Every structure is written in structure tokens, then in C-alpha cells.
């Protein structure tokens, strides 16, 4: 009889339905604790209100490193440490100014901001005629004859027909990233882009750009969507409109920065690493609340909730606050470099870098057939509003782990409002919803629990 009971117990304990029932209890416990006792929202308040914008190389960057180091210690991480890296040090300088001369001769001020890594205009500013283009093809057709000596206005909008706003961003981000050098090739003296935003407001959106060393480095700015519409309308009335703008930004020598890393040591496979993280740096127009303070505090919450609930992962869970995602990726490069040098086994990496909005799913760098196998887990996620597992890009900070063998994934929050805020002065703590932020943290902890337990 005792042997029969033992056999029955073993059969029951390995039954998939029974396992899923046990997992649903863990899911509920994770969600309950984060929603009732979570610290993500308060930690985000510290990053935003006590520290503020965290541009690489700034004093705020160092303050944020110390703050998140202490947070993970207090959460009970088995170890917390810093990983050195050298980060770029670009500074915006004085508040940017710009205007065009109206038909009656009055100066009409414009709301602009310099793009990250741009050179400045110098103290006297820059004044030249605007030439509007709506594509790189049009730029090439105008060539040097139409471009030399002018400021190129890249007036390219998000396609509103895209239900997925990321498609609009992917189609337009090249004008920010490569636009200045492509215009300089034809003799332009400056560039201005319509802000990469899905809405129409008065907030210019910054973001990184890179110069091609084959061409002159010219100053580049972004203009708010409202002012961009105004200039486009004026250009239909007048053939020639001079634009003046002044920026004092500059790039200084690189300085020391750090990835901040907290670990929960694996119980049975400690040498196999699951990386979870976000990037600690942010642009300087606001507080970096959604991009990417939210991802940082969501990732750290995993340490707290696992320790609180006594969840002992098989693999080592490594929570990383990456340095310098916005301005070059020095932190992610260093993290992958060290992992490769140590021959660490990277099995999975998860990043949150699409805002702290309500979670809808996850994107994986896996073939469709493998993702389809993972979709059996979705029944566990449905009660929490998560319904989508799909192939797609994950996160810039963990891309370097793919060659090291890691499957990488990104949290997919609802994207409809992200580009209203992205890289603009609207990215403040007040624009983050506490419950949505916490639901994202819970879904990340739940996914890591399954990957650690069952593999991919």
C-alpha cells in the first residue's frame, strides 16, 4: 500500500495541470505582494524627485548609482557590486533659443532642443534659410545645389495609420540619428527635425545622434510638433524663411560610470545567469521616469519579492542597472565584455525599456515555433492582463548577450502613449501610474520564475 501511495504521489506531483496549479499560486503571491507591499513606485519617486535627470557623466548619474546600490542591498540581494565603465560626457549647456522672422518682420520664438551629441552653434548662434524635406530621397534629389548653406528641416511625421506606434518610430528615427551627416554631405550648415512623437504638443523631443566623420559636424536640433506644423504652414506661404537658433552644447572627456548589479545566487545552477534590468541613465530634459526609471525599479523589485516570498531560483538572478544606454551603450558593452571574458553562461536576459505602462506581453528573440511552445504559459498570465508572446526586438542593453547564448526578451507595455513622453520634458514621475508600474514588475517576476523553473 505504501508503495502504491508513493507512486500515486509522484504521478500527481509531475502532472502538468498540477504543476500549473502550483505556478498559479506563486503568480498570485507575487502579484499580491507587489501590489500590496511593493517599493517600485517609491523607488521611482527617489530617482525622479530626489535625483532627477541622469545624463551619462553627470553628478546625478553617480547619485543614482549609489541610490540603487543601497536599494538592492536593502531588498536582501545576496551581493551588490559596481562594474566600472567609461561613459561619454555630453552637456547641453544653456537653454536653447530659436526664432523665425514672420512676414511682418516680428520674431516668432520656437520651442527647440539640441539633439544628444550635437555640437553647439557657438555664442553667436546660427542663422540660415530653411529648406524643408520629407524624405532622404528628396534630400538626395535636391543635392548640393539645393542644400548648401541652408538649414535642413526634416519634417517627417509618424504614420498615424500604424496601430503599433513603434513602427512610426522605426520609420523616422533615422532622420534624428543620421540626418545631420547626410545633410552636411550636401553643404547644409544645420539640421532641424520634427520631434519623433505620436502626438501634437509643444514639447520638443531630444535623443541621440551620431556624426559620420567623413563630413562636417553641424549643429542639430529638434522642434516641437506644434512649431513644426507652424513652420511647414509658413513655408507654403513664403518661399524663403530664415531660421535662427543658438545652442551651447559640447562633448567633454569621458568619465567613470558604473553598472550597478545585484544578485540572488542560484540554488542548483549558480553558474548559469538570468539577467534582468533597465538603464539607469536618462536624457536631461526631464526626470527619466518612463525612460528608463520605470524599467530599473521594476527589475529591482524582483529581488525584493523573491526574497520576501522565499522563492529560491535555480539559476543566479542578476539584476543590472545599465549605464549609458542613451548615449552609446558603454554599460551594456562592458557587461557583455566581462561576461565573455569570464566565460559566463548566459541563459536568459529580460529588459524593461518601453515605459511603465500597463503590461501587455513580452517579445522574444526566438523562432516562432519556440515562442508557440512558450504560449502554453499564457493561461497563467491572462488574469493579469498579459496576453501576448511574440517575436521582436527586446532591449538595447541585452542585445550583446545573444552571441553569448542568451535568449533575450523585452517587456511589452501598452505603447499608445509612450511616444507622447519619450525623450521630452513630459517624462516625469507624475506621468507614471502606480498600478501599471507594479503590474509590469509583477509580470517580469512571474516570467523569470517560469524561465528559471522550466527553461526555454
> At which residue does the C-alpha cell 534659410 appear?
129
Record the cell numbers describing residue 93, joined without a space: 549647456
* Spatial separation of the C-alpha atoms in residues 446 and 41, rounded to whole Å: 18
pLDDT value of position 182: 98
Bridge partners (DSSP) listed for residue 250? 91
> At which residue does the C-alpha cell 540554488 appear?
267
pLDDT value of position 11: 40
Taken in order 360, 394, 377, 388, the sign of the CA dihedral is positive
Mean pLDDT by runs of 10 across the 456 residues of the chain is 43 46 95 98 98 97 98 98 97 97 87 98 97 98 98 96 95 97 98 95 96 97 97 92 97 97 98 98 98 98 98 98 96 98 98 98 96 97 97 93 97 97 97 98 98 96
Of the candidates 378, 375, 366, the one whose C-alpha atom is nearest the C-alpha of residue 443 is 378
Output the CA–CA distances (angstroms, integers) from residue 220 to 83, 119, 130, 377, 420, in the order listed. 33, 8, 13, 47, 21
Output the CA–CA distances (angstroms, integers) from residue 13 to 18, 30, 112, 317, 412, in the order listed. 7, 22, 62, 26, 33
* Long-range contacts, 233-240 (Cβ 8 Å, 24+): 234/100, 234/102, 234/103, 235/130, 235/132, 237/103, 238/103, 240/129
Q: Which helix (H) or strand (E) holds 252?
A: strand 250-264
pLDDT value of position 10: 41
User: What DSSP assignment string belongs to 126-153?
Assistant: EEEEEEEESSHHHHHHHHHHHHTTSEEE
pLDDT value of position 239: 83
152 within 8 A of 183, measured Cβ to Cβ: yes
pLDDT value of position 15: 44
pLDDT value of position 17: 44
**CB-neighbour burial class of residue 74 (10 A; exposed 0-12, middle 13-18, buried 19+):** middle
Domains and CATH numbers, the chain: 21-90+253-454 (3.40.630.10), 93-248 (3.50.30.30)
Residue 68 backbone phi and psi in degrees, to 5? -75, -30
Of the candidates 390, 440, 392, the one whose C-alpha atom is nearest the C-alpha of residue 414 is 440
Q: Which helix (H) or strand (E) holds 410?
A: strand 407-413
pLDDT value of position 7: 40
pLDDT value of position 104: 80
Of the candidates 122, 140, 238, 91, the one whose C-alpha atom is nearest the C-alpha of residue 189 is 122
pLDDT value of position 360: 98
pLDDT value of position 101: 86
Amino acid at each position: 500500500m505504501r508503495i502504491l501511495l508513493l507512486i500515486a504521489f509522484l504521478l500527481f506531483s509531475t502532472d502538468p495541470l498540477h504543476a500549473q496549479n502550483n505556478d498559479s499560486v506563486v503568480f498570485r503571491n507575487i502579484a499580491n505582494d507587489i501590489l500590496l507591499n511593493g517599493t517600485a513606485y517609491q523607488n521611482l519617486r527617489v530617482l525622479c524627485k530626489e535625483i532627477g535627470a541622469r545624463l551619462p557623466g553627470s553628478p546625478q548619474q553617480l547619485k543614482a548609482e549609489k541610490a540603487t546600490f543601497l536599494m538592492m542591498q536593502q531588498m536582501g540581494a545576496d551581493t551588490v557590486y559596481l562594474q566600472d565603465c567609461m561613459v561619454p560626457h555630453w552637456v547641453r549647456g544653456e537653454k536653447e533659443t530659436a526664432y523665425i522672422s514672420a512676414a511682418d518682420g516680428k520674431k516668432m520664438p520656437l520651442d527647440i532642443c539640441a539633439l544628444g551629441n550635437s555640437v553647439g552653434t557657438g555664442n553667436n548662434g546660427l542663422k540660415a534659410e530653411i529648406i524643408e524635406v520629407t524624405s532622404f530621397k528628396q534630400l538626395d534629389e535636391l543635392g548640393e545645389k539645393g542644400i548648401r548653406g541652408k538649414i535642413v528641416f526634416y519634417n517627417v511625421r509618424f504614420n498615424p495609420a500604424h496601430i503599433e506606434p513603434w513602427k512610426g518610430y522605426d520609420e523616422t528615427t533615422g532622420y534624428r540619428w543620421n540626418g545631420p551627416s547626410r545633410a552636411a554631405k550636401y553643404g547644409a550648415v544645420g539640421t532641424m527635425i520634427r520631434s519623433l512623437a505620436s502626438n501634437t504638443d509643444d514639447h520638443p523631443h531630444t535623443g541621440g545622434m551620431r556624426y559620420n566623420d567623413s563630413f562636417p559636424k553641424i549643429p542639430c536640433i529638434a522642434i516641437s510638433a506644434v512649431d513644426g506644423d507652424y513652420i511647414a504652414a509658413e513655408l507654403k506661404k513664403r518661399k524663403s524663411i530664415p531660421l535662427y537658433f543658438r545652442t551651447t552644447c559640447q562633448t567633454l572627456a569621458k568619465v567613470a560610470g558604473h553598472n550597478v548589479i545585484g544578485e540572488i545566487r542560484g540554488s542548483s545552477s549558480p553558474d548559469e545567469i538570468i539577467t534582468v534590468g533597465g538603464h539607469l541613465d536618462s536624457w536631461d530634459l526631464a526626470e527619466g521616469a518612463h525612460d528608463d526609471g520605470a524599467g530599473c525599479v521594476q527589475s529591482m523589485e524582483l529581488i525584493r519579492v523573491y526574497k520576501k516570498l522565499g522563492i529560491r531560483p535555480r539559476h543566479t538572478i542578476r539584476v543590472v542597472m545599465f549605464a549609458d544606454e542613451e548615449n552609446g551603450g558603454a554599460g551594456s558593452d562592458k557587461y557583455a565584455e566581462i561576461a565573455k571574458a569570464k566565460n559566463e553562461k548566459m541563459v536568459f536576459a529580460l529588459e524593461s525599456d518601453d515605459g511603465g505602462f500597463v503590461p501587455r506581453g513580452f517579445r522574444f528573440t526566438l523562432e516562432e515555433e519556440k515562442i508557440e511552445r512558450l504560449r502554453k504559459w499564457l493561461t497563467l498570465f491572462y488574469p493579469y492582463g498579459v496576453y501576448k508572446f511574440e517575436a521582436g526586438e527586446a532591449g538595447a542593453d541585452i542585445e550583446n548577450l545573444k552571441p553569448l547564448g542568451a535568449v533575450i526578451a523585452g517587456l511589452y507595455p501598452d505603447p499608445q502613449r509612450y511616444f507622447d513622453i519619450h525623450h521630452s520634458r513630459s517624462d516625469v514621475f507624475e506621468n507614471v501610474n502606480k498600478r501599471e508600474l507594479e503590474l509590469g514588475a509583477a509580470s517580469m517576476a512571474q516570467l523569470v520564475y517560469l524561465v528559471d523553473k522550466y527553461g526555454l
